[in-house]
């Protein structure tokens, strides 16, 4: 069977949704964003096609006014894992970023996703920081919250502090 790397189209949606259904026990976010990525001129979504089916996908979204490429949505169908397709797609997104003259690429992954961490390290990514994500069961009753909020414009000192705190260029 022939293996082909190509841009993803709307016609690939059934295959991608099937991959997503088999990812994270069906709790994947990809179905919620797929249509947006396919229509977004700043998204470059590629896939690995084997025969007539897409078996792996990944997206490169250009953000920060064309300075940064955000690599996201890397998925491989369970029947096609450990065949190097994630590696090939990662390399494709890196090459796309080079062609677009991006200043940097960013990539997030679960710290316990050893395959993804190895993939990132293999391609020269370095860990910038780690984040913990906490979940709580949905409360039976919505807690009562104070909805009164005072809003005012920040003064000059606060604006400078905010920029400094977040590392924005003023």
- What is the tens place of the pLDDT at every residue in 6-46? 999 999 999 999 999 999 888 899 999 999 999 999 999 99
- Yes or no: say if 162 and 154 are a contact pair by the CB < 8 Å rule: yes
Report yes or no on 87 lying in a domain.
yes
Average pLDDT over residues 161-166: 36
The rounded distance, in Å, linking the Cα atoms of 126 and 105 is 11
Determine, yes or no, domain membership for 18: yes
The answer to whether 45 and 25 have CB atoms below 8 angstroms apart is no
pLDDT digits (tens, 9 = 90+) for 134-158: 767 776 666 666 666 666 666 665 5
Instruction: Please indicate, yes or no, if residue 158 is contained in any of the structural domains.
Output: no
Tally of domains within the chain: 1
CB 30 within 8 A of CB 73: yes
User: Tokens 């994947």 correspond to what residue?
Assistant: 28
In a domain, 122, yes or no: yes
Range of the domain at 119: 3-131
Q: What is the pTM of this model?
A: 0.76
Task: State the Cα–Cα distance between residues 145 and 35, nearest whole angstrom.
Answer: 35
Query: Has residue 140 been placed in a domain?
Result: no
By the 8 A CB rule, do 109 and 120 touch? yes
Per-residue tokens: 101: 């003259």
Rg of the chain in Å (alpha carbons): 20
**Would you say 30 and 75 are in contact if contact means Cβ atoms under 8 Å apart?**
yes
Tell me, yes or no, whether 76 lies in a domain.
Answer: yes
Residue 163 in this model has a pLDDT that exceeds 60 = no
pLDDT at 1: 76
CATH number, domain at 39? 3.40.630.30
Tokens, residue 64: 């920060």
**153 domain-assigned:** no
* Position 152 in a domain: no
């Amino acid at each position: 069977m022939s293996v082909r790397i190509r841009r993803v189209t709307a016609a690939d949606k059934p295959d991608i949704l099937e991959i997503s259904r088999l990812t994270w026990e069906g709790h994947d976010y990809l179905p919620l964003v797929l249509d947006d990525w396919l229509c977004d001129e700043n998204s470059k979504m590629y896939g690995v096609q084997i025969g007539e089916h897409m078996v792996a996908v990944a997206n490169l979204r250009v953000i920060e006014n064309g300075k940064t490429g955000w690599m996201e949505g890397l998925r491989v169908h369970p029947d096609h894992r450990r065949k190097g397709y994630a590696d090939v797609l990662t390399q494709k997104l890196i090459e796309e970023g080079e062609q677009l003259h991006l200043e940097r690429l960013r990539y997030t992954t679960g710290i316990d996703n050893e395959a993804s961490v190895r993939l990132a390290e293999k391609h020269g990514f370095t860990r910038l920081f780690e984040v913990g994500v906490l979940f709580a069961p949905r409360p039976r009753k919505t807690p009562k919250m104070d909805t009164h909020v005072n809003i005012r414009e920040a003064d000059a000192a606060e604006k400078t502090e905010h920029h400094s705190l977040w590392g924005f260029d003023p």
